[in-house]
Structure 1
Amino acid sequence: MNRAQLADFLRRSRARLAPSDVGLAVGSRRRTPGLRREEVAQLAGMSGDYYTRLEQARGPRPSRQILGSLARALRLTEDERDHLFHLAGEEPPRDARDAAGTGHVRPGLLLVLDRLDDVPAQVVSDAGDVLAQNAMAAALVGDAASRPPRERNIVRRFFLDPAARRLFPPGDRPEHARRHVAHLRAVLAARPEDARAAALVGELRCRSMEFATLWDQHEVAVRRADVKRFLHPVVGPLELECEVLLSAEQGQRLIVYTARPGSESYERLRLLRVVGLQDLAVRS
């Protein structure tokens, strides 16, 4: 691990980004060129102290998960991501499954995500790992970056976290459960060597009787465009169109939630934008 070069690369990558490049509001009192250290840490889902130590060349060797999160937060290209891994003494991801596992999202896809500031949108791996969100998505379904990496998987949270299930009307939950399982089975069938997906299935079969029962039914279906109903604790019920844009090369999906103009859900989505921006301001 080359701590000095890693620290220099992190500092320079941070300095070249403006807050608007990553969907953050520009404050009136910014003395730091580019992003602040705490902003990078927030985007990467890590502690500010840990990131500061990395930039000061005195931090411990970062894990592959941390490196992937940093590459995403700093909007690195694939070549820059590989350089980051090399500086940390790690082999870069070599295929789509490994890339998705480290949380790397192409800068172009992140640019699209950052520009979607009036609707919820997030990038999710085909196995359900939330890799990136905009402020609206965090306001709608919760801030994934605030959770440990293994708890950012939407399938895992749906079956193991009661709070995640409460986001949906009780009558809709059985159908959501069925679709989650059918999609995950399709993913594992396409990539039987995918250790991350296999481990997720193994854990859920052991810890959720509902998941195990649905898994044994052997339904297969890839999730695509849909209509979802949410029970938001602040703005109330929402009925949203769920558009799924596929990035098949890297096993990632950009999911965008919209409401029909003039509907109650549309007005509540506008209110959610205010809630999301206020929450972002508090956290920054």
Structure 2
Amino acid sequence: MRILHDWRAIPPDARGATVALGNFDGVHLGHHSVIRAAHAARPDLPLAALTFEPHPREVFRPDDPPFRLTLSAERADALAGLGVDILYELPFDREFSMMSAEDFVARVLHQGIGARHLTCGQDFAFGHRRGGDTGFLARRAEALGMGLTLVPPVTDGEGPLSSTRIRRVLQDGYPERATAELGRPWTIRGLVVHGDKRGRTIGFPTANVPLGRHLEPARGVYAVRARLADGTCHKGVANIGRRPTVSAEPESRLEVHVFDYDGDLYGQEITVALLSYIRAEVRFSGLDALKAQIATDAAEARRLLG
């Protein structure tokens, strides 16, 4: 998949696509339907997605806690997995946010990327102060010779599926429900950094990964699957939280014990999929109690993972 960032300098062979529009945080099943609709409308054209980086909310509300389901690289991989040929990942900043809805359609979509057909959700809004809605988009797209497909939300018994809803189930400790709504397990991707190495002293060495801009899910212990930099996948057990037994740090982190692995992961990028929630984070009376609980957690993770 080609990833392009400057809408003013799109190569000729990356123009003329059928383009799905959205933030695509999570690339969940609702987003899948928007991508499929773009391809179905014009299967003769390259399939593209247009999104923004960073997420507009990160620009307008920088002091909010991290909330992203997928960062840039994860989102790109998920879109590529859906068959997207071209990703227009446009830089979003205060200046770009001042662009009117008219200019976004005429200058970015029509002149800049040369879109032939557009798809988006029925609640898609764009332009300065979200001044453009799908009614405006429909009128301007028709005038400029671009097709448009509006895609209804994917719903179930709980209502429309959304990134907000998936964030909530992760924060409530239900990764299996997130898996069902994403169409794949939710993952945290990051570089392994040096920790205090206490895990090695109690027989459970861990790979420490800062959460960074990822959403913090429910604190506690999870059964996980880790994909290492060499592409291999391994079962494991992980803790997300502040480690109250051994640390007073205010910042949560992800610590992963990879089963039956003794290699050096420092400095490598790993991707950790949360598969099952085992228990909440608690404070133990000391290292012996913590070690015994970790052994119990590891056995439970092995059972859950088969």
Give the TM-score band, short-chain normalised.
Answer: under 0.3
Kindly indicate which of the two structures has a greater share of residues assigned to helix.
1
After TM superposition, the score normalised by the length of structure 1 is 0.24
Q: Which structure has the greater CA radius of gyration?
A: 2
TM-score, normalised by the number of residues in structure 2: 0.23
